Amino acid sequence: MNPYEVNAAPPTTVDLDLHLEPELSEGKTEVAEQTSLDSVEKNGLTLPYSPDAFGDEEFAEVKYKVLKWWQCGLLMVAETVSLGVLSLPAAVAGLGLVPSVVILVSLGALATYTGYVIGQFKWRYPQVCNMADAGEVLAGRFGRELLGNGQIIFLVFIMASHLLTFTIAMNDLTNHGTCSIVFGVVGLVVSFVCTIPRTLAKMSWLSLVSFVSILAAVMVTMVGVGILNPDNVVEATVKTNVYHGFTAVSNIVFAFSGHAAFFGLAAELKNPADFPKALVLLQSVDITLYVVAAVVIYCYGGSTVSSPALGSAGPVVSKVAYGIALPTIIIAGVINGHVASKSVYVRLFRGTDHMHKRTWKAVGSWVGIALGLWIVAWIIAEAIPVFTNLLSLITALFASWFTFGLCGIFWLFMNREDGRWRSSPRKLALTGLNLFVVGIGGCLCGLGLYVSGKAIHDNPSNASFSCASNLS
């Protein structure tokens, strides 16, 4: 059965656990045209009709659906493996070595599963190309507005994190050579210029540069802290409290928070069935790198390891590491900026010729949207100039739901008919797992808001919109 076939008879059974994959031919999704009906029926579900955002691109001037799986995987790696790894050694210092490794591996495995659920949801509802579309499937117009706006706000906060890290890096490289606001503006301009290409395929090679950059920077940092502190004391566990412990957990969650962009990345795949390959590439890289980098840097950096971690290797090595990391600091933010801009652009021009044209209106609108979002990100970065606090706030508000809670809701929604939640022992176990995932999202959100709000309130620096150095 082709799960994309319109008005298909409902199947007797639908396995949405591990095998819901589209039947594709040479990378082309078979979606029947719908011109006169207001709704379509897919697998027994009646949904508001929403065509593929990019439509038929055979003769298009600008083609989006050309990504190969490894290009998508590189984009996912570059988008996810960036700022997160810089905060992990400090998280290990706050929790202790053993709890941190357990949490890292557990959350990494859970993030792999929730990422796969996003792929399942995309296969089941091929019109979905962002969180707004997913929200429309779940709850109509209200869901579209809630998840669509939430996704854009989340991505803009991530963009702000990258601008903030850029100012930290420049302050370190130049010994605070000028006002931090100036460095922020420079980061804004560079990031905006790199966001101008409209298709993700043109950014896939930049993503490779980004990954090589952060990998090299982490290696340099590990060598640097090893030379500087060869006899540091390692603590298997540490005494902590809810405030400090949950701040550390939030930073670990943020390291796996790329899910908000997954629908947008999957939408530009030439063959949507290749999404699991890209996901496996991402998760195998990030879990391995996170555990190795966090453990090694903590073991030598100790309880006073800084966040971002590149500042823990001594003045000279720190400058080298920050210099090497500059490409990933910029590019990873640019990918998130591109996905945010694409979400707005698709909403404005979906179903029109402007999606595939290089007219003044099409290009000008794209440039204007990207510039506007980067300006908002710069304002946020200047208003919350403490790296750890900003990560904690982002995680509480958005990553808790986009990475975990919502994915559990997606699975429960897809399996809600005819008692499939408890149709077999395996289904019952998966139902329990996804309810647990939803609970994790709610817990991370509630406790995270308390922790991040207190941290921002108690911050004594009063450095918002300040020229002062923001080095840890």
For the chain of 472 residues, list the mean pLDDT of each consecutive stretch of 10.
35 40 38 35 42 72 90 92 79 91 95 96 92 94 94 91 88 86 94 92 85 89 81 79 84 88 93 94 94 90 77 80 89 93 91 84 94 94 73 81 95 85 88 95 90 75 71 62
- 4 inside domain: no
CB neighbourhood size of 37 (10 A): 10
Two structure tokens written together for 471: 């080095």
Query: What's the rounded Cα separation, in Å, for the pair 105 and 87?
Result: 16
- 441 inside domain: yes
Of 252, 50, 255, 17, the closest CA to residue 119 belongs to 17
pLDDT given at position 301: 82
Calculate ∠ Cα 423-110-158, nearest 5°.
130
- 30 inside domain: no
pLDDT given at position 231: 66
Query: What's the rounded Cα separation, in Å, for the pair 306 and 315?
Result: 13
Of 140, 157, 318, 136, the closest CA to residue 224 belongs to 318
Task: Give, as one character, the DSSP assignment of residue 10.
Answer: P
pLDDT given at position 139: 93
Domain with 284, as residue range(s), is: 66-458
Residue 41, strand partner residues: 46
Query: What's the rounded Cα separation, in Å, for the pair 81 and 430?
Result: 28
- 28 inside domain: no
pLDDT given at position 354: 81
- 319 inside domain: yes
Q: Is the peptide bond before 308 cis (omega within 30 degrees of 0)?
A: yes
- 81 inside domain: yes
pLDDT given at position 439: 96
Give the phi and the psi of residue 66 in degrees, each rounded to 5: -130, 5
pLDDT given at position 14: 37
pLDDT given at position 391: 66
pTM of the model: 0.84
- 18 inside domain: no
CA distances from 54 to 50, 259, 354 (A): 11, 21, 11
CA distances from 204 to 215, 362, 371 (A): 17, 22, 21
pLDDT given at position 314: 76
CATH number of the domain that 127 lies in?
1.20.1740.10
Residue 45, strand partner residues: 42
- 401 inside domain: yes
CB neighbourhood size of 137 (10 A): 23
Residue 47, strand partner residues: 40
Query: What's the rounded Cα separation, in Å, for the pair 318 and 178?
Result: 19
Domain count, the chain: 1
The answer to whether the beta carbons of residues 130 and 317 sit under 8 Å apart is no
pLDDT given at position 19: 43
